[in-house]
Structure 1
């Protein structure tokens, strides 16, 4: 595929990205106590670390009603007798059981507080079980709005799925709903009307006919998983088996499209998935969940990165949305597979501790698209993809949101975040070193939750370049840094104008027609240091660097 042909379809790609972005809570400047209860790792949450969930839920699809329980095993991080878990107040708690007895609880907004009859000692392992039921939030705009999608397929059969990233998993099941705490493993038991299939994360362990018109599907997740990734998918699916010989051996590939989309699924998934895995294992390291496998599950909404069970709504438009058509099918690619699968590394393997740092998921996930295109069509195609995505940058608000209030920042975290990562690659100017850094991130923070400082410090250390001012300007402020050029006594000088005091960032410039050279401007005027360059003929590498330029 030629780059020109690639650019033709970017308008379609941009449209679909706007429809399938993760759930944002933008523009909120005043926060309530409920926001703090949801977003803060308070002492009543920090006192215990979740080890295991057994979520057992029945879906009454006709009445859009759910009922069930969640068994929560934990380790005490300090002595305590009171704790908080989370469940939206639209759902009713029937009882909380601790050591075979009911314990009292109180509710405030979507937080639940239980008083235990004994003091739990630091290091002690214990558990409690929450029983609940009710009418969960129904969403028509997943994944942008959180909740459960109750819909029907084109044959009129039930088609149900969950999506709850920005809103929180407690919109449909009880848990410690904070990104910093992931269970080490999980059993997901979902009961659905007989004749339908249910697909969740991990591996299917057991299918049980409950003899009451329902079938229970038990799925086991053997790796840490963040709460919003826990997924329910109900429909009249067919199952397609495949495998991929990856860097850690044989990886199972399981595809669950609706039965009438089986032919499409085989064609599209086979063309995209293995190339994607090969690309990402090269750049990011081994797929992080070999023991749980890789799955694509058709959903009644566009897309979501549910761990080991990626939601795929590409068939909704009749053809895969954003598949870039070349002269034949071999020249196409599927945005959903490429973007959402990147989150297996960034978002699912490496997870932000606070929703304010969702850029960690989306910047790397968007940047990964360019690496996929580079693998297929060459470096220029990848660069053009990043460059064209700038049309989606609004520069309207900071990418990093306020902490501890369950808030996401600007949607610029996608395209602007990818631009930042590409600039770092250009500054380093050593692709093997850059590849080592990306792989090192997934190795050092394997199956961990991380902070802004963790990621920026690691990139700074391994690159040998102080990237903190650069990240701060692009992520904490909405404005671009401005590179000002002036002629002084026949010598071209430049400086940065920025919100960050003492801002520095290397950048590629050249005398028009010459070769680009890396210069290191500061906030003070200094000579550019390129022979023959002047304000009239200086050129910035605007394909790779996203900055403002002043030459007046």
Structure 2
């Protein structure tokens, strides 16, 4: 996320209060005895304890969505392929606001209960531990955006001619049911049907585009690499799209356009027509910025890249949605672009184990800005460090321990997080730091990692105990006497 627009999450914490109906009571459609136990409603995240669900691991989401911008109605079918991590008699999905028309598990009708944002499904037969199962949920309604305490919004954001969907930390539950915690990543297939004349964009590679008999247009997107649900996105509207390629990055997926040369990365950018002209030059720089970041951070981790630029007023911040970050036109500048593209390595490929580990996303992406300024704008990182060290706002709390959910997107997570990395660089030297910078996203590629994982990794590469550095810069209260 763009560091210049910190966001509060207090209202989401309040919204995630409902407990699922687990073992008690019989529900219509449930027959026969089961010996398993219900999956947990909530994963006990330090800041969002009710977010996510236990008992299963999602492997793939296949979302089929049809949207009518005039009425705001969304019709959806979510097919969720998952593996049971325990013997399951029931399990939960996170879903806010929309009406569920029905659900099946492996083709058989499942009983459905609703309690707030918790959807409880009770299959007719228990699901044994280790077994893969497929859940299909049909739903519809007018999705509602979540308004945070600072006035920013997330979830399904309606526009004059379409919508933009973003979900950090939990707004994705406003448009599809799922296990909405960053620790459960999955592949995605997203199919969007919209009125003629509109573009429908999402993550990954566009694999098909066709006109239906009623004149509407359907577009299919394939995102094969694991993705946390908060990084899923949809943008519907009058967009101008441009296709390009970036060289020297990871090989594209088999579904990539055949026009892309071997060893190149398909890059698809989109900008609302009203802002397309002023966004075009910077969007054209994406292949070169990615090439530079690849040289510094290692191979690009996904099979597609790009960006989406929305009209002013739709969003109050930029977000690193996977493969195709979203920017409001008002804050679409080179620094923000560098930040959000760096997130593709730090945050998207290596995703935090819990929301407490968010500094691993934002500290690295912010330090990527410092490195870019150092290499290409001749501003030494030590000068940027000195500037941020002098700002009292960066010392409100340690980056690895925000005091509450509403502080997750405050300056210490970003700027002090970057200061931790600069002090690490000074301590271990440039050569070892560069090894850490490339090795960290390689070791945890497409996985989740915690702060403890990072400190242990850095010490293993450095070959020494760095406890003193972590104590002062990562966990210490207050500003050190000397930078």
Matched residue, 1:352:
352
Q: Secondary structure at the match of 2:4?
A: helix
Matched residue, 1:166:
169
Task: Considering Cα pairs closer than 8 Å and 6+ residues apart, tell me whether 1 or 2 has the greater RCO.
Answer: 2
1:148 equivalent to 2:156? Answer yes
1:18 equivalent to 2:14? Answer no
Q: Residues 376-409 of structure 1, C-alpha deviation per residue, up to 9 Å, x if partnerless?
A: 033x443333333443734223434589989837
1:294 equivalent to 2:327? Answer no
- 1:307 paired residue among 311, 317, 322: 322
Q: Contact 1:150/1:159 (CA < 8 Å) preserved in 2?
A: yes
| CA–CA separation in structure 1 for the residues paired with 2:455 and 2:287 | 31
TM-score, length-scaled by structure 2:
0.83
5+ long unaligned stretches in structure 2: 21-39, 251-262
Q: How many residue pairs align between the two structures?
A: 441
| CA–CA separation in structure 1 for the residues paired with 2:115 and 2:398 | 30
CA RMSD of aligned residues (A): 3.1
Distance 1:125 1:405, change over 3 A: farther
- 1:122 paired residue among 120, 129, 138: 129
Q: Contact 1:163/1:228 (CA < 8 Å) preserved in 2?
A: yes
| CA–CA separation in structure 2 for the residues paired with 1:64 and 1:121 | 40
Matched residue, 2:417:
417
Q: Contact 1:77/1:123 (CA < 8 Å) preserved in 2?
A: yes
- 1:193 paired residue among 192, 195, 201: 195
Q: 1:356 Cα shift?
A: 1.7
- 350-359 or 247-256: which moved more? 247-256
Distance 1:245 1:54, change over 3 A: same
5+ long unaligned stretches in structure 1: 1-15, 153-157, 324-333, 483-539, 546-552
Q: 1:74 Cα shift?
A: 1.0
Q: Secondary structure at the match of 1:459?
A: helix
Matched residue, 2:58:
50
Q: Contact 1:281/1:287 (CA < 8 Å) preserved in 2?
A: yes
Q: Any residues of structure 2 matched to 1:30-429 within 5 Å, and which?
A: 37-40=41-44, 45-88=53-96, 90-138=97-145, 144-152=152-160, 158-183=161-186, 185-248=187-250, 249-270=263-284, 272-289=285-302, 291=303, 293-299=304-310, 300-301=314-315, 302-313=317-328, 315-316=329-330, 323=333, 334-378=334-378, 380-390=379-389, 391=391, 393-401=393-401, 408=408, 410-429=410-429
Distance 1:405 1:336, change over 3 A: closer
Matched residue, 2:447:
448
Q: Contact 2:198/2:238 (CA < 8 Å) preserved in 1?
A: yes
TM-score, length-scaled by structure 1:
0.73
Q: Residues 192-223 of structure 1, C-alpha deviation per residue, up to 9 Å, x if partnerless?
A: 12210011001111123233353221101111
Distance 1:337 1:18, change over 3 A: closer
| CA–CA separation in structure 1 for the residues paired with 2:357 and 2:151 | 18
Q: Secondary structure at the match of 2:246?
A: strand
